[in-house]
Amino acid sequence: MTAAKSCGILYVVATPIGNLDDFSARASRVLNEVDLIAAEDTRHSGQLLRAIGCTTPMISLHEHNEGRRVEELVSHLQDGKDVALISDAGTPLISDPGFALVRALIEKDIRVIPVPGACAVISALCVSALPTDRFMFEGFLPAKSGKRRDHLMQLRREPRTMVFYEAPHRIGDSLEELRQVFGDERNAVVCRELTKVHETIYRGTLKQLCELAATDANMSRGEIVIVLAGCECSEDVASTLQAEQVLEVLLQELPASQAAKLAAKLCKVDRAQMYELAVKSKAGR
Ligand code: SAM
């Protein structure tokens, strides 16, 4: 593609997350000009490439073969071939394969160029009407309820807007879990089927969204991003929240009274309040 160079270039190319019109002219040009496309699912991407008239050869690169493929792709690049990396939808490496490849290439001084475009995190965030000056992307939450809850507990005091990817069949349970951890009044946004025909954006408190999830079957259909407002709490509330986190950890090893006493001492909060929470938490386990 470019003359007089020893190594090829890896282009990390974003593809649409639903709406084909979001395919950029540059993405289309790069995919047509490279020697090889590494795609997460070659059959799925085949349809996309046909739509833009691209006949560049493809090989698969997915979570199960990325380790093996890295060497093969390094060798193509070292032979001077240009390669594009795409995933099934959106930006590669964002909850998608490609990290091991990019890291290996940088270590070998091989050039990596981004070709930016659609990404569900950013699309959801920019219509959420929640603060966008600072945010954190959490990807998919752990699938198992216990692990998910432990993970969410660690985010209770997070002041930045949080973005999660979620599977549609779990949306009701996840919203309920978010409500239990962050409270009824915390604002959130559920973005469904962004850029597609059935695009729907649900905004409200976690309590309102849980009620909606129970009555609107559409909420659990299609692809979903959850955007959650950060914590706006005062220092007092923040230290109680921290104490609750400490308490949860201690409760995994100690009886309620001992855990409550230690959490209260460590975080300088009320012991009786900790004990009440410890008893409730033990009962809910
Ligand atoms: N790399 C992709 C990106 O840039 O957004 C994400 C890939 S990840 C495997 C797929 C998840 O992204 C879906 O389960 C969903 O949470 C989110 N997602 C992708 N497309 C979406 C869309 N059109 N609307 C809402 N969420 C979407």
User: DSSP readout, 120-148?
Assistant: HHHHHHHHS-S--SSEEEEEEPPSSHHHH
Q: Is 193 in the pocket of ligand 1 (CB under 6 A)?
A: yes
108 exposed, middle or buried (CB, 10 Å; 0-12, 13-18, 19+)? exposed
| pLDDT above 80: residue 216 | yes
Span 120-142, pLDDT tens digits = 999 999 999 999 999 999 999 99
Distance 159 CA to ligand 1 centre (A): 24
Counting from 1 in the atom list of ligand 1, the atom nearest the Cα of 191 is 25
Q: Is 111 in the pocket of ligand 1 (CB under 6 A)?
A: no
Q: What is the pLDDT of residue 284?
A: 72
Identify the DSSP state of 35.
S
CB distance 57 to 37 below 8 Å: yes
In a mutational test of the pocket of ligand 1, which residue from 225, 227, 228 has the highest number of ligand atoms less than 8 Å from its CB? 225
d(CA 89, CA 85): 12
How open is the CA angle 244-248-254, to the nearest 5 degrees? Answer: 125
Q: What is the pLDDT of residue 5?
A: 57
Q: What is the mean pLDDT of the chain?
A: 94
Q: Whose CA is nearest to atom 2 of ligand 1?
A: 90
Higher pLDDT, 51 or 3: 51
Q: Is 90 in the pocket of ligand 1 (CB under 6 A)?
A: yes
Q: What is the pLDDT of residue 283?
A: 83
**Joined tokens for residue 94:** 């964002």
pLDDT band at 285 (very low <50, low <70, confident <90, very high): low
d(CA 118, CA 122): 8
CB distance 84 to 13 below 8 Å: yes
pTM: 0.85
Counting from 1 in the atom list of ligand 1, the atom nearest the Cα of 167 is 14
Q: What is the pLDDT of residue 4?
A: 43
Share of the chain above pLDDT 90, in %: 84
Q: What are phi and psi of 41, to 5 degrees?
A: -135, 110
Distance 223 CA to ligand 1 centre (A): 6
In a mutational test of the pocket of ligand 1, which residue from 95, 174, 201 has the highest number of ligand atoms less than 8 Å from its CB? 95
- Mapped onto helix, strand or coil, the DSSP state of residue 93 is coil
- Mapped onto helix, strand or coil, the DSSP state of residue 239 is helix
Q: What is the pLDDT of residue 94?
A: 98
d(CA 242, CA 263): 9
Q: Is 17 in the pocket of ligand 1 (CB under 6 A)?
A: yes
| pLDDT above 60: residue 58 | yes
Q: Please state whether beta strands 187-192 and 224-228 pair in parallel, antiparallel, or not at all (unpaired).
A: antiparallel
Q: Which of 64-78, 151-165, 224-238 has the lowest mean pLDDT?
A: 224-238
> Can you tell me the mean pLDDT for 266-281?
90
> Can you tell me the mean pLDDT for 220-240?
88
Distance 23 CA to ligand 1 centre (A): 16
Distance 191 CA to ligand 1 centre (A): 10
Q: Which of 47-56, 116-125, 204-213, 242-251 has the lowest mean pLDDT?
A: 242-251
Q: What is the pLDDT of residue 108?
A: 96
Distance 254 CA to ligand 1 centre (A): 40
In angstroms, the Cα distances linking 114 to 11, 72, 80, 105, 285 are 6, 21, 18, 14, 46
Q: Is 191 in the pocket of ligand 1 (CB under 6 A)?
A: yes
| pLDDT above 60: residue 99 | yes
Span 66-76, pLDDT tens digits = 999 999 999 99
| pLDDT above 60: residue 118 | yes
Q: Whose CA is nearest to atom 16 of ligand 1?
A: 165
| CA proximity to 166, closest of 229, 120, 99, 216 | 120
Counting from 1 in the atom list of ligand 1, the atom nearest the Cα of 193 is 24
| pLDDT above 70: residue 2 | no
Q: What is the pLDDT of residue 3?
A: 41
Q: What is the pLDDT of residue 238?
A: 72
Residue type, 100: A
d(CA 204, CA 216): 14
Q: Is 190 in the pocket of ligand 1 (CB under 6 A)?
A: no
pLDDT band at 233 (very low <50, low <70, confident <90, very high): confident
Q: Please state whether beta strands 135-140 and 161-166 pair in parallel, antiparallel, or not at all (unpaired).
A: parallel
| pLDDT above 70: residue 48 | yes
180 exposed, middle or buried (CB, 10 Å; 0-12, 13-18, 19+)? middle
Distance 22 CA to ligand 1 centre (A): 14
Report the run of H or E that residue 26 belongs to, with start and end: helix 25-33
